[in-house]
Amino acid sequence: MSVIHGEMQSYALTVDKLLDHGAKWHPQAEVVTAREGGRLDRIGYAGLRQRSRRTSAVLAGLGIGAGDRVATLAWNTQAHVEVWFAVMGMGAVCHTLNPRLSEAQLADMIAKSGARVLIAAADLAPLARRIAARAGSVGRLLSIDGPAAEGGGPLAAEPLESLVDAAQGEVPWGDFDEHAPCGLCFTSGTTGTPKGVTYTHRGIFLHTLRALQADTMALSTHDSVLLAVPMFHANGWGVPFATPAVGARLILPGRHLDGASLAALINAESVTVALGVATVWLALAEHLEAAGGETPTLKRIIVGGAPISPVLMERIERRLGASVQTSWGMTEMSPTGTVAPPDDPRRAAHLSGRPSIGVDLLLTDAEGVLLPEQRGVEGHLRARGASTIQRYFGETRPAVDASGWFATGDLARIEPDGNLVITGRAKDLIKSGGEWINPAEIEEIIGELPDVSLAAVIGREHPKWGERPVLLVKMRDGSTASDAVLIDALRGRVASWWLPDSVIRVDRMPLAATGKIDKMRLRAEFGRATETRACRQTQHPAQ
């Protein structure tokens, strides 16, 4: 048709509108930040927007314009949220950095993004100086959340707060193409070389509309939402965008995600919904078990980032008195892929929920060929959608296959009712004597044992079989179960050659900054061949 007979309004889906909406329609709804020493700072969305707009003016004064990258190395605080909207609203790109990565990794990421301004939490200023010195591109260091710590290099840290106070003029927000980039996040590096994911305004806006749905995160103006997912971890699951869009209160824990801090914050702010990886809620449950106390206002906990064991899910639900919603996502998906609906009577730890409209999934074989049967069988998971990656930052070739699907690297099954079951990471698979072993299946069975707190299985080099599985466990306090009990739990449920060669007990399971078990570190520490054990067997257990 050559003539369009009538039309709807143009309305670019840009993230500045999310905060504009919160400020206009929910001006008093608060963003609360936990400070050192138990102090709580609070501001309404109207006030936060005003400060954020002034922050844009500061950045413009430093020469930042549309498309320029501004890096942040910061915790979950009001100031960090203000910076996000300041950078994105003016059309620049907010590059979030994970402070728990190595200096070399961080410097490499900044060098790749070419950020000229780095905004760091006060306590991270020394780290910021060191990585700025290595990266080269950074000309200005701004500090937020207190007086910048000294050390790490000569770069002066100017307090952003005082620049905001003195800010002059107005910088327009929005009014650019909704496909413009607004964020940059490198994958965490637990599974290989970090790659940059460029978020777009449109992708984030549509992700926000999904997060607010009754069958997903179901955030409401009546909710107080605790974000225990670091904002540098895949957009904090999009929560800093979703809360102003609906006028929910946003409760930010700062840098402290330990059980005692979270328990205090949940009760001080009557938190109704909390989001974070399972290990954070395990720590909270363990704190309450040890120290006593309840979290009566908490209704729902949305977990993601890694599969949760049924025992852990039941323990969290019982101790916290809240219903767990499982989810699955990836940095490359902005990040949520699936979420189980709130209070689903059929909820279960192994189910990650169904995709909501705007996300599509399918299963292929290892070569990317569509499986003829899509329900009830395991396959390699591929994803499509408006908030799913097309191309990594700085790369020329697409990150999708010829049909436009992104290979997630996850192994999954889709139940007949459409529920997603993540069965493992393709990269975590252990190849032993030419046969595949899936650590996730072993971890799930071990995770069901009441004596076990956390379990991880990795491949250890083996001169004959290539790799052999090793089980690492953190036992619950007071448990007396022997190694044999653990291994016996697997017998009859996995193939005999899947049985781990050894059990290693750890006092503390190494976690990545995202709260996931850090398998890269486990592999580095426990993955090398050990001659004596390797020589005990002369025949592959699979034979």
Residues with a catalytic annotation lie at 187, 332, 431, 436
User: Can you tell me the distance from the alpha carbon of 313 to that of 203, in angstroms, rounded to the nearest whole number?
Assistant: 31
Six-digit token pair at 505? Answer: 């007990």
Among 236, 307, 355, 469, binds a copy of itself (CB under 8 A): 355
Tokens linked to 305: 């980032």
341 contributes a contact to a copy of itself by CB under 8 A:
yes
Using CB under 8 A as the binding rule, whether residue 97 contacts a copy of itself is answered as no
Q: Which residue has the tokens 């970090």?
A: 194
Which of helix, strand or coil describes residue 130?
A: helix
- CB-nearer residue toward a copy of itself: 210 or 380: 210
**Closest by alpha carbon to 254, among 35, 52, 100?**
35
How far is the CA of 399 from the CAs of 93, 106, 330, 404, 408, in angstroms? 20, 23, 14, 9, 10
| Local structure of residue 9 (DSSP, 8 states) | P
Looking at residues 369 to 398 of the shown chain, list those that interact with a copy of itself (rule: CB under 8 A): 384-395
Tell me which stretch binds a copy of itself (CB under 8 A): 147-155, 217-225, 228-236, 477-485.
217-225
Contact criterion met (CB below 8 Å) for 135 and 110: yes
**How many Å separate Cα 22 from the centre of its chain?**
24
Q: Quick check: 543 binds a copy of itself (CB under 8 A)? A: no
For 150, residues 6+ apart whose C-beta sits below 8 A from its C-beta are: 125, 126
Sheet holding 336-339, edge to edge: 327-329, 336-339, 354-355
Pull the structure tokens for residue 529: 């061949």
- Least distance (Å) from a copy of itself to the CB of residue 217? 8
Tokens representing 243 are: 């809360």
- In angstroms, give the least distance from the CB of 392 to a copy of itself: 5
How far is CA 527 from each of CA 261, 423, 439, 468, 530, rounded to the nearest angstrom?
Answer: 35, 22, 14, 9, 9
Can the peptide bond before residue 469 be classed as cis, meaning omega within 30 degrees of 0? Answer: no
Stated length of the chain: 543
Q: Which is nearer to a copy of itself, 46 or 429 (CB)?
A: 46
Neighbour count for residue 18 (Cβ, 10 Å): 26
Selected range binding a copy of itself among 12-20, 455-463, 481-489, 508-516, rule: CB under 8 A: 12-20
Least Å distance, CB 71 to a copy of itself, is 14
Residue span binding a copy of itself (CB under 8 A) among the ranges 22-30, 103-111, 322-330, 515-523? 22-30
- DSSP letters along 310-347, please? HHHHHHHHHHHT-EEE-EEE-GGGSSEEEEPPTT-TT-
State the minimum distance, in angstroms, from the CB of residue 284 to a copy of itself. 24
Residue 21 engages a copy of itself in binding (rule: CB under 8 A) = yes
Distance separating alpha carbons of residues 406 and 385, to the nearest angstrom? 9
Interaction of residue 404 with a copy of itself, rule CB under 8 A: yes
Residue 206 in the binding site for a copy of itself (CB under 8 A): yes
Q: Please say which residue, 152 or 247, places its beta carbon nearer to a copy of itself.
A: 247
Please identify which residue in 152, 196, 379, 500 interacts with a copy of itself, judged by CB under 8 A.
Answer: 196
- 200 binding a copy of itself? (CB under 8 A): yes
The partner residues of 338 in beta bridges, in order of sequence, read 328, 355
Contact 494, 457 (CB under 8 A): no
Q: Interface with a copy of itself includes 68 (CB under 8 A)?
A: yes
Select from 40, 348, 400, 513 the one that contacts a copy of itself (CB under 8 A). Answer: 400
Based on the shown chain and the rule CB under 8 A, indicate whether residue 8 belongs to the binding site for a copy of itself.
Answer: yes
The reply on whether position 23 binds a copy of itself by CB under 8 A is no
Interface pick for a copy of itself out of 38, 63, 67, 169 (rule CB under 8 A): 67
Kindly state the smallest distance separating residue 247's Cβ from a copy of itself, in Å.
8
Q: x/- site string to a copy of itself, residues 229 to 248, per CB under 8 A?
A: ----------------xxx-
- Which range in 155-163, 164-172, 175-183, 512-520 contacts a copy of itself by CB under 8 A? 175-183
Where do contacts with a copy of itself occur on this chain (CB under 8 A)?
1, 4-11, 13, 17-18, 21, 24-26, 66-68, 179-181, 184, 196-200, 202-203, 206, 208-210, 212-215, 218-222, 245-247, 334, 341, 354-358, 360, 384-395, 400, 404, 406, 418
